[in-house]
Every structure is written in C-alpha cells, then in structure tokens.
Amino acid sequence: MKISLLKFIEGKEKKLEIKKNIENLNIEGITFTELVKISLEIYKVDDDINGSIEVEFEYTEECSRCLKKYTNKIIDKADIFISSSKDELEDESVDYYNILQKNGEINIEDLLKEIFNINRPLKPLCSVNCKGLCPKCGVNLNEEDCNCDNEKIDPRMGKLKELLDKEV
Ligand SMILES: [Zn+2]
Ligand SMILES: [Zn+2]
C-alpha cells in the first residue's frame, strides 16, 4: 500500500488526506469496518521529510469478557520522520518513521500495522461495565440473568477460605 509524496517534495502541497481500504492488513481477530482515514502533514523537506500523521481506524473485535463482537475506534496523531536512508532512522526519537523510496513513494502498510498495534487495547472490552459470561452456565450476563449462584462457596471449602482470608 503506497502513497506518493512527490507533491510534498516539490513543495506543491503541505497536507494530504486519504482514505484507504485496509481489509488486507490481516491483523488477527480484527475486522476493519470503515476505510482507514490518514492525514499527513509536512513541516520540512530536505533530503528527509518531517511531518505529522493522524490515523483513524474503525473496527470490530471480540470483547475479552463476554466474547461478543463490538465496534471500536482508534485515533492516533504523532510525529513522523521519513528518511531517504535507512541508517538515519536509528537516532531519530520520533514516534514513527518510514523510508522514502527513490520514486518519491512510501509504503505505509507496516506503519499502519504498527500504529494500530501500539494503540489497540490489551484487554478489549465492549463496555467498562461488561459483566462477562457466567462461569457456570456460560450465558452473557449483559443480556440475561441466570440462576447460578456464583458467590456461593462449597461448605467444605468454607474453612479453607477463612484460613486464606486470614493470610491476606
Ligand atoms: Zn463484553
Ligand atoms: Zn449461570
């Protein structure tokens, strides 16, 4: 997935806004439901390019508690450094970088993956109040109540629990 930066390099434009289909990014468990919005702004062009990038993803994934698919949005804005030589990248303290190819294009596939993976929640939740699944019967407790008594402790275990509680 490539973007041409020739217009920036020639100084004709400072800002680029595009939408791309990223279904083929192939991130496990993720379905992108909208085109990704990318906004690229350029501050300085020498041999290298300094700028900022803003990316907006909309996708569905499974809630880690109730296992239901839900829609989420990630927006990230960060500095980007686009270098014509790989060697310079090591020292740069910017958030993201990319390699400027000889024809004035950059390939943004890995960059998009990186931005997505840095920002995605480690424990995805459909809602902070998600009640999850009943550990006994498996119903989605957001949708229905069940008759399982999940608080109840086996009387034979009661003594053990008392002891454990004292330890804490
Ligand atoms: Zn949930
Ligand atoms: Zn239950």
| Domain ranges, ordered by start, for the chain | 2-130, 132-168
Query: What's the CA-to-centroid distance between 114 and ligand 1, angstroms?
Result: 25
- Residues whose Cβ atom is located within 5 A of ion ligand 1: 63, 65-66, 126, 130
Query: What's the CA-to-centroid distance between 66 and ligand 1, angstroms?
Result: 4
Query: What's the CA-to-centroid distance between 61 and ligand 1, angstroms?
Result: 10
Cβ(69)–Cβ(62) under 8 Å?
yes
- Residue 141 tokens, joined: 């407790």
Question: What is the residue-level pLDDT of the chain in tens, covering all 168 positions?
Answer: 899 998 888 888 899 999 999 888 889 999 999 999 999 999 888 888 999 999 999 999 999 999 999 999 999 999 999 998 777 666 667 788 899 998 999 999 999 999 999 999 999 999 999 999 999 999 999 999 999 987 655 556 566 666 666 655
Cβ neighbours of residue 154 closer than 8 Å, sequence gap 6 or more: none
Nearest ligand to the CA atom of 126: 1
What's the predicted TM-score (pTM) here? Answer: 0.80
Query: What's the CA-to-centroid distance between 28 and ligand 2, angstroms?
Result: 30
C-alpha separations of 118 from 9, 56, 124, 139, 152 in Å = 29, 13, 13, 32, 40
Nearest ligand to the CA atom of 138: 2
Query: What's the CA-to-centroid distance between 150 and ligand 2, angstroms?
Result: 8
- Residue 127 tokens, joined: 């809602």
Which pLDDT score is estimated for 29?
93
Cβ(55)–Cβ(38) under 8 Å?
yes
Count of C-beta atoms within a 10 Å radius of residue 128: 5
Strand ranges inside the chain, DSSP E: 2-4, 15-20, 31-32, 36-45, 49-62, 69-83, 96-99, 105-107
Cβ neighbours of residue 134 closer than 8 Å, sequence gap 6 or more: 141, 146, 148, 150
Query: What's the CA-to-centroid distance between 127 and ligand 2, angstroms?
Result: 20
Cβ(50)–Cβ(126) under 8 Å?
no
Query: What's the CA-to-centroid distance between 54 and ligand 1, angstroms?
Result: 28
Nearest ligand to the CA atom of 131: 1
Query: Can you tell me the distance from the alpha carbon of 33 to that of 129, in angstroms, rounded to the nearest whole number?
Result: 24
